[in-house]
Homo-oligomer: A and B are copies of this chain.
Amino acid sequence: MSFDEESVRRTSRGDVRLRGFGDLVAFGEAMDWVTRHGTPLDAEEVAIAEAAGRVLARPADAPADLPPFDRVIEDGYAVSSGETIGAGTYNPLLLELRDAGSAPRPGAAVLVAAGMPLPRGADAVIPFAEAQASGPVLEVLGSVAEGVGIERRGVQLRSGAALAPGGRALRPRDLAVLASLGGERVSVVRRPRVKLVISSAKGGAQTPAPDANGPMLRALVERDGGLVLAAESGGDHGAALRQAMAAPGADLLLAAGRTGTGPDDDAPLALAGAGRLDVHGIAVRPGGSAGMGRAGPLPVILLPGDPLACLCAYELFAGEMIRRMGGRDPRLPHPVVEAEVGSKIVSTIGFTELCQVRLADGRAEPTGAPGSGGIASALRADGFVVVPAPLEGHAPGSRVLVHLHS
């Protein structure tokens, strides 16, 4: 039996509406789906000025020496250091002062500025404060050692030296190095194009609930390097989802809402009808009604409609999917700090739980019982703790890793 058949058998639970999920898919199996489907996209060339935060498609080597020639790094007078031996305040050395750009010669100094090529024959630069110019004559008031105020070709980087490994997100100063080496464009992993389909929240016509998930998901996708193609919401969610699955152009579809067991939870059936529903109903809290599947080649992740559940399922599954497709480090991007548990962090054995905590005096305090407090508990939180399925939580005084919301 191939893996895919097994996958379908395991998750083809039929219609869960008005029945409940029954057995849930283990967290690790859902993560396996993300790992299998989250393969890096192809490369594209972008201008260096637009490449901040992008991920190199392959390791970059220096195409040339840096600096590309011996050069001056201090403003002053370029000299041959050997000629200055013995010079001092009471024994000034007199040199012929030549303008910047002049050809140098023995017994002469050349006016230079940082960044210029080092005049041939010179091997040091005397700063302005240590010499006195007087018309065409320069009075040198001290000796200078070879190499002072200059930088030899290739001393920063040799041609062929490793600049950055593939998969590395480019930082501002990486751009300066790449540009210094004379590059104009760089090959980076294409940003995953993510289409969002957001269900209008439930509540009946008399209480139209606002779209809370659209703005949040847009920001999360961009944080993880994805490109939000469109965020559609309202109307018939199943129909909007079917239309989005049939349209070209996206690398990933995230659909928020209508994933549960209620009468109008039509997202899983829409996905099963258009392709296949590999995973639905996962042993995580909040966010367990999430699902995963494919419509043709297009991976689709179904996120719950409740904003806190949507956030948690995004952080556990969709975020890693986008980071993997974009060639990034798949791990959660939040800074991590270790903290001592204050009040007990409660979790149910068998469920991977994402518990919102605030940090007070270096201690992690839950901001609400698991699954309660809603998105506002995440508002009060400084971060979250992931409690693995085998644990029933963390006792006061134990130490946990807190992923900081940033």
- List the interface of chain A (C-beta within 8 A of B): 18-20, 22, 48-49, 51-53, 66-69, 71, 73, 75-76, 100-101, 111-117, 127-129, 133, 151, 155-157, 163-164, 171-184, 201-204, 207, 209-220, 222-223, 231, 260-265, 305-307, 310-311, 335, 372-379, 405-406
Say how far A87's CB is from chain B's closest CB, in angstroms: 18
Alpha-carbon gap, A71 to B201, bound state (A): 12
Contact between chains at A379 and B127 (CB < 8 Å):
no
Contact between chains at A172 and B223 (CB < 8 Å):
yes
For the complex formed by this chain, how many copies does it contain in all?
Answer: 2
| Contact status of A207 and B173, CB under 8 A, knowing A128-B18, A202-B114 | no
Q: Which of A73, A100, A209, A264 has the most CB of B within 10 A?
A: A209
Contact between chains at A376 and B177 (CB < 8 Å):
yes
Contacts of A182 in B (CB 8 A): 210
Say how far A223's CB is from chain B's closest CB, in angstroms: 7
Closest to A311 in B: B173
Contact between chains at A307 and B218 (CB < 8 Å):
no
Say how far A168's CB is from chain B's closest CB, in angstroms: 11
Contact between chains at A172 and B203 (CB < 8 Å):
no
**Which of B114, B214, B377 contacts A156 (CB under 8 A)?**
B377
| Contact status of A113 and B202, CB under 8 A, knowing A75-B260, A129-B19 | yes
Contact between chains at B174 and A379 (CB < 8 Å):
yes
Nearest 6 CB-CB pairings of A with B: A113-B262, A52-B219, A115-B202, A156-B376, A20-B129, A172-B219
Contact between chains at B75 and A375 (CB < 8 Å):
no
Contacts of A183 in B (CB 8 A): 210
Say how far A256's CB is from chain B's closest CB, in angstroms: 11
Contact between chains at A172 and B220 (CB < 8 Å):
yes
Say how far A167's CB is from chain B's closest CB, in angstroms: 15
Contact between chains at B173 and A307 (CB < 8 Å):
yes
Q: 13 A-B residue contacts at CB 8 Å? A: A18-B133, A20-B127, A49-B218, A75-B261, A113-B265, A114-B305, A163-B379, A173-B216, A173-B379, A176-B213, A179-B210, A179-B214, A181-B210
Alpha-carbon gap, A183 to B307, bound state (A): 15
| Contact status of A180 and B75, CB under 8 A, knowing A20-B127, A263-B113 | no
Contacts of A53 in B (CB 8 A): 219
Alpha-carbon gap, A150 to B377, bound state (A): 16
Alpha-carbon gap, A28 to B172, bound state (A): 26
Say how far A232's CB is from chain B's closest CB, in angstroms: 13
Contact between chains at B180 and A115 (CB < 8 Å):
no
Contacts of A264 in B (CB 8 A): 113
Contacts of A177 in B (CB 8 A): 212, 307, 375-376, 378-379
Contact between chains at A116 and B156 (CB < 8 Å):
no
Alpha-carbon gap, A135 to B155, bound state (A): 83
Contact between chains at A19 and B379 (CB < 8 Å):
no
Say how far A163's CB is from chain B's closest CB, in angstroms: 7
Contacts of A217 in B (CB 8 A): 172
Say how far A255's CB is from chain B's closest CB, in angstroms: 16
Contact between chains at A374 and B151 (CB < 8 Å):
yes
**Which of B68, B114, B215 contacts A176 (CB under 8 A)?**
B215
**Which of B127, B163, B203, B220 contacts A117 (CB under 8 A)?**
B203
**Which of B52, B115, B171 contacts A222 (CB under 8 A)?**
B52
Contacts of A180 in B (CB 8 A): 209-210, 212, 307, 375
Contact between chains at B164 and A379 (CB < 8 Å):
yes
Contacts of A223 in B (CB 8 A): 52, 172
Q: Which of A129, A214, A263, A376 has the most CB of B within 10 A?
A: A376
User: Given known contacts A101-B204, A173-B375, what 4 new A-B pairs fall within 8 Å (CB)?
Assistant: A20-B127, A175-B215, A179-B214, A180-B375
Q: Which of A128, A175, A201, A211 has the most CB of B within 10 A?
A: A175
